């Protein structure tokens, strides 16, 4: 089933590339149908997935090179399946957000589907060598999507694409060295994640720490955490709206997902480096929030806020207890929905007004009431308002952190206050005051755009009001990981 799911978007990419027509609207509709087929297949896995089982499910393995110990092995558990569902949900939204793509439509939509294949492969891989292949594969479509199809300033978009690739490849070097050290250090000489996880606790503590630090750098660049975040703001500002949706909604989660796998593989090193992890989390939360509050560009503001929100994920992981792990996983899901909605809405607003400066707007609630509703909902969810997915995630991270560090969780509260400051400032600037002449004729969301925004809004509110299904989905995997640390 997982091989089929992995091949579906790849087949879609090939079909789109081979289409004899050049009509951008038709290409976009075919791509949208392909992403919806992939989403339907992925969500059907919930019927067969047993949330009470912590072990890997739908496992399949095909040997690549017996002597090297590498294999094409796929599987999912409570950590990976929710991210697969999130990725397949955001892909149709990204296609809807690509309505203005006319030139090079075949190339653009083929790259989107190729990117989906690579993202799904990262979350399904149960072999570190296969994981690394899919991890690096995401760079190819992202580079061209930003460099060739990004912002209007050619020099800036080329700089953004190059920065992204150099940062990610630089981090990947450390990750590759760490994986090779793991392979060499364990007696099994296999890249299998389960085999390495079983053998790695027997390694010397110093070796575990150095390997974990290599993985932390590689995954920290992608999350991103301070001070490895330099590529993020420029990449988001210059990327097409659809790419920003996927970059913030899914690509950042690849880093935090990989860090969870690193903690599972090297629990001794994670315990020794717990203080480092929580320090990086606190700095990321405050630093990202302050930069978001200072920003006037809407896309840049959301990009900086992602650093703060991924800091909450790192805080949950650093707690090394069930509440913390649950909070980290739920924050990945919540941030994917919220950031996806924000970049989707801001992208649509930019297409209509050709500006992202927050000072250029006023009282859009009169001309764009539907847009105003979804934007306010997404911004309040980003703050963690009760009744939204963000509240459930941050509450679990707070409980996990309080159980470990007590009153130090005041730092998380300060981060939430900063988030509230820039969120409500944005609401005030966008939707209050007199209507300017240039904004009187801005059209509201279309029916298709409303459908896409409603899907994300439903996820945000449904998890906020009824969190039990989502928590049950990750519960068994969270409990198994927490057992490594005596919880």
State the average pLDDT for the chain: 87
| Each residue's pLDDT tens digit, 337-364 | 999 999 999 888 888 888 888 877 877 8
CA-CA distance, 173 to 281, in Å (whole number)? 23
| Each residue's pLDDT tens digit, 257-291 | 999 999 999 988 999 999 999 999 988 888 888 88
Q: Is the pLDDT of residue 114 over 70?
A: yes
Q: Is the pLDDT of residue 8 over 90?
A: yes
Of 39-43, 192-196, 375-379, least confident by mean pLDDT is 192-196
In this prediction, residue 325 carries a pLDDT of: 93
pLDDT cut 70: percent of the chain above it: 99
Residue 189 is part of which domain span?
Answer: 2-483
Within 10 angstroms of residue 65's Cβ, the number of other Cβ atoms is 10
| Each residue's pLDDT tens digit, 150-206 | 777 778 888 888 888 888 888 889 999 988 888 887 777 788 888 888 888 778 888
In terms of Cα–Cα distance, which of 327, 328, 361 is closest to 345? 361
| Each residue's pLDDT tens digit, 436-477 | 677 777 888 888 889 999 999 999 999 999 999 999 999 999
CB 393 within 8 A of CB 331: yes
| Mean pLDDT value across residues 223-246 | 82
Which phi and psi (to 5°) does residue 150 adopt? -85, -145
Q: Is the pLDDT of residue 487 over 70?
A: no
Number of domains within the chain = 1
CA-CA distance, 351 to 367, in Å (whole number)? 15
Q: Is the peptide bond before 227 cis (omega within 30 degrees of 0)?
A: yes
User: DSSP assignment, residue 358?
Assistant: G
Please report how the helices 252-265 and 205-222 are oriented relative to each other, as an axis angle in degrees rounded to 10.
170
User: DSSP assignment, residue 192?
Assistant: B
Q: Is the pLDDT of residue 42 over 70?
A: yes
CA-CA distance, 98 to 79, in Å (whole number)? 30
Burial 4-15 (b: 16+ CB within 10 A, else e): ebbebbbebbee
Residue of higher predicted confidence among 230 and 305: 305
Burial 154-174 (b: 16+ CB within 10 A, else e): eeebebbbebbbebbeebbeb
CA-CA distance, 81 to 44, in Å (whole number)? 11
| Each residue's pLDDT tens digit, 292-348 | 888 888 888 888 888 888 889 999 999 999 999 999 999 999 999 999 999 999 888
Within 8 A by CB and 6+ apart from 149, the residues are 101, 104, 107, 108, 240
CA-CA distance, 286 to 312, in Å (whole number)? 10
The tokens for 241 are 């709206």
In this prediction, residue 237 carries a pLDDT of: 79
In this prediction, residue 117 carries a pLDDT of: 94
Instruction: Tell the burial category of 410 from Cβ atoms under 10 Å away from its Cβ (0-12, 13-18, 19+).
Output: exposed
């Amino acid at each position: 089933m997982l091989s089929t799911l992995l091949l579906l978007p790849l087949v879609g990419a090939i079909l789109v590339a081979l289409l004899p027509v050049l009509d951008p609207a038709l290409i976009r509709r075919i791509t949208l149908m392909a992403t919806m087929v992939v989403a339907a297949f992925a969500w059907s896995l919930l019927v067969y997935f047993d949330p009470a089982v912590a072990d890997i499910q739908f496992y399949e393995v095909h040997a690549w090179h017996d002597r090297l110990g590498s294999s094409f092995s796929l599987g999912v558990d409570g950590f990976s399946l929710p991210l697969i569902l999130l990725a397949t949900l955001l892909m149709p939204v990204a296609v809807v957000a690509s309505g203005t793509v006319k030139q090079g439509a075949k190339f653009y939509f083929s790259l989107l589907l190729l990117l989906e294949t690579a993202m799904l492969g990262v979350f399904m891989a149960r072999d570190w060598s296969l994981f690394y292949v899919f991890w690096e594969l995401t760079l190819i479509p992202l580079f061209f999507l930003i460099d060739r199809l990004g912002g209007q300033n050619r020099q800036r978009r080329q700089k953004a694409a190059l920065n992204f690739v150099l940062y990610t490849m630089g981090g990947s070097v450390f990750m590759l060295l760490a994986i090779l050290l793991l392979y060499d250090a364990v007696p099994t000489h296999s890249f299998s994640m389960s085999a390495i996880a079983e053998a790695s606790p027997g390694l010397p503590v110093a070796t575990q720490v150095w390997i974990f630090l290599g993985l932390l750098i590689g995954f920290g660049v992608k999350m991103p955490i301070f001070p490895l975040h330099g590529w993020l703001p420029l990449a988001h500002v210059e990327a097409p709206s659809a790419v920003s949706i996927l970059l913030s909604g899914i690509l950042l989660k690849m880093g935090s997902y990989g860090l969870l796998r690193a903690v599972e593989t090297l629990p001794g090193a994670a315990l020794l480096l717990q203080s480092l992890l929580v320090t990086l989390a606190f700095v990321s939360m405050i630093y990202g929030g302050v930069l978001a509050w200072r920003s006037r560009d809407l896309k840049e503001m959301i990009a900086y806020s992602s650093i703060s929100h991924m800091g909450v994920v790192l805080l949950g992981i650093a707690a090394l207890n069930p509440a913390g792990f649950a909070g980290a996983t739920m924050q990945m899901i919540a941030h994917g929905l919220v950031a996806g909605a924000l970049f989707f809405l801001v992208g649509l607003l930019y297409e209509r007004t050709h500006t992202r400066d927050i000072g250029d707007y006023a009282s859009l609630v009169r001309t764009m009431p539907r847009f105003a509703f979804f934007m306010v909902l997404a911004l309040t969810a980003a703050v963690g308002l009760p009744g939204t997915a963000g509240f459930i995630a941050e509450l679990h991270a707070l409980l996990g952190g309080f159980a470990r560090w007590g009153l130090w969780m005041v730092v998380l509260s300060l981060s939430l206050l900063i988030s509230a400051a820039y969120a409500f400032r944005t609401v005030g600037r966008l939707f209050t005051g007199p209507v300017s002449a240039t904004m009187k004729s801005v059209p509201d969301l279309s029916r298709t755009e409303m459908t896409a925004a409603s899907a994300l809004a439903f996820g945000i509110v449904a998890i906020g009001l009824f969190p039990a299904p989502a928590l049950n989905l990750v519960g068994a995997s969270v409990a198994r990981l927490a057992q490594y640390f005596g919880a």
